[in-house]
Structure 1
Amino acid sequence: MIRGHRHSAWDRVDAAFIRFMASRGVPLLRVTLAVVFIWFGLLKVIGRSPVVDLVARTVYWVSPEFFVPLLGVWEMLVGLGLLCAVALRLTLLLFWLQMAGTFLVLVLHPEIAFQGGNPFLLTTEGEFIIKNLVLIAGGIVVGGTVQRPQT
C-alpha cells in the first residue's frame, strides 16, 4: 500500500495472476516443449512429417529412410525427458544438438529458407526454422532451473 492507497480489486487480480505465472510458467513451458518434441518426433517416426524432404535435402549424406525416423526417436526422447523431468542435463544436451541441426538448412541450403537470397524474406521453410529461436529461449529458461549435483 502506498500512502493510504488501497489496492483495488484489479490490483489483487493482477498480483494473483503474476503469482500464478511465476509459479506455473516454467513447468508449463517444460511440458509444452515436451508436447512439441513428442508430436513432431512421432510424425517423423510414423512417416507423416511434412519436413521429410527438407531433412533429406539438408542431411543428404545419410539415407532419409534411416535418418528421419532416427531424428524422430531423438525428438521423442527429448520430449519424454522434458515431460518427465528425467535426466534433464542429458535431455537438454540432446535438445541443444537437435536445435543446432535445425539451422543447418540456413548454411547448407539458404535458397530453401530465404526468398531470392534475401535473409529478411523468409520462405515457409525459413519461418519454420526461425521459429526455433523461441524453442531455444524456452530451453534456456528450462535449463536455468536444473540444479547442480551436490558434491
Structure 2
Amino acid sequence: MHRMHSSPPHKEHRAGGLAEVRSHAGAVIQRHFPAIMRGALALVFLWFGALKVANVSPVSKLVADTLFFIPLPQTLLVTGLGVFEIAVAAALVTGRWLRPILPLLLLHLVGTFSVLLIHPALAFQGGNPLLLTVEGEFVIKNVVLIAGTLMVSATLPPREKTSD
C-alpha cells in the first residue's frame, strides 16, 4: 500500500506567511497603539497615585524630601500628588481633560529628575552616575513615562476651530 506524504511547506511559503502575519499585526498595533499607551500609562498612574493616597507608597519620603521647598505637611504633599496621579489616570482612560493634564504630567515627570540633583547620594552608587541605586532607577525609568506621555500628546486629535 502506497502512503501519500505531503511535502513540507517551502521556506518561501512559510516566510511569506510570516511576513503577512507580521504586517497584519503591525497594522493592528499601529491602529490601536495610542489607546494601548493611554491604558498602560493610566494603570501606572492609578497604581502609583493610589499608593500615595493610601499612605503606603515606598517613595513617599523621597518625594517629600525632594519637594522640601513646598511649605506643606509631608502627608498632604504626597496625598495631593497621589490625587493628581489618579486624575491623570482618569483623564487617560476617559480622554477628557487631556490637553490641560498632559503638560502638567510632563512637568511632574521632568521634576522627578530633581532627585538626581538634590539627593545624588540616593540616586548613584558611590557618586558614580553610571551606577544607579534603586531610587536612581526609579527616577530614570521616567524617561519611558515621558516618551509615552509625549506619544499620547502627539496623537491627540486636532482641536476643533471655533468661529469668532
Structure 1-normalised TM-score? 0.91
User: 2:43 is matched with which residue: 35, 58, 77?
Assistant: 35
Please state how far the C-alpha of 1:101 moved relative to its aligned partner.
Answer: 2.0
Distance 1:144 1:84 in 2: 17
Distance 1:37 1:29 in 2: 12
Secondary structure of residue in 2 paired with 1:140 = helix
Secondary structure of residue in 1 paired with 2:132 = coil
5 Å-filtered alignment, 1:107-122, equals: 107-122=117-132
Distance 1:31 1:94 in 2: 18
Residue 108 of structure 2 corresponds to residue 98 of structure 1: yes
Structure 2-normalised TM-score? 0.84
Distance 2:78 2:112 in 1: 13
* Residue in 1 that maps onto 2:6: none
Residue 162 of structure 2 corresponds to residue 146 of structure 1: no
Distance 1:39 1:69 in 2: 13
Distance 2:43 2:138 in 1: 17
RMSD: 1.5
| Aligned-residue identity in percent | 42
Flag structure 2 segments of 5+ consecutive residues without an equivalent: 1-11
- Matched letter for residue 35 of structure 1: L
Distance 1:102 1:74 in 2: 14
Distance 2:28 2:160 in 1: 30
- Matched letter for residue 85 of structure 2: E
Distance 1:22 1:113 in 2: 36
Residue 76 of structure 2 corresponds to residue 76 of structure 1: no
Residue 146 of structure 2 corresponds to residue 132 of structure 1: no
Residue 68 of structure 2 corresponds to residue 60 of structure 1: yes
Please state how far the C-alpha of 1:98 moved relative to its aligned partner.
Answer: 1.3
- Give runs of ≥4 in structure 1 deviating > 4 Å: none
* Residue in 1 that maps onto 2:5: none
Residue pair 1:47, 1:69 contacting (<8 A) in 2 also: yes
Secondary structure of residue in 2 paired with 1:146 = coil
Please state how far the C-alpha of 1:88 moved relative to its aligned partner.
Answer: 1.2
Aligned length: 147
Distance 2:42 2:55 in 1: 20
Flag structure 1 segments of 5+ consecutive residues without an equivalent: none
* Residue in 1 that maps onto 2:54: 46
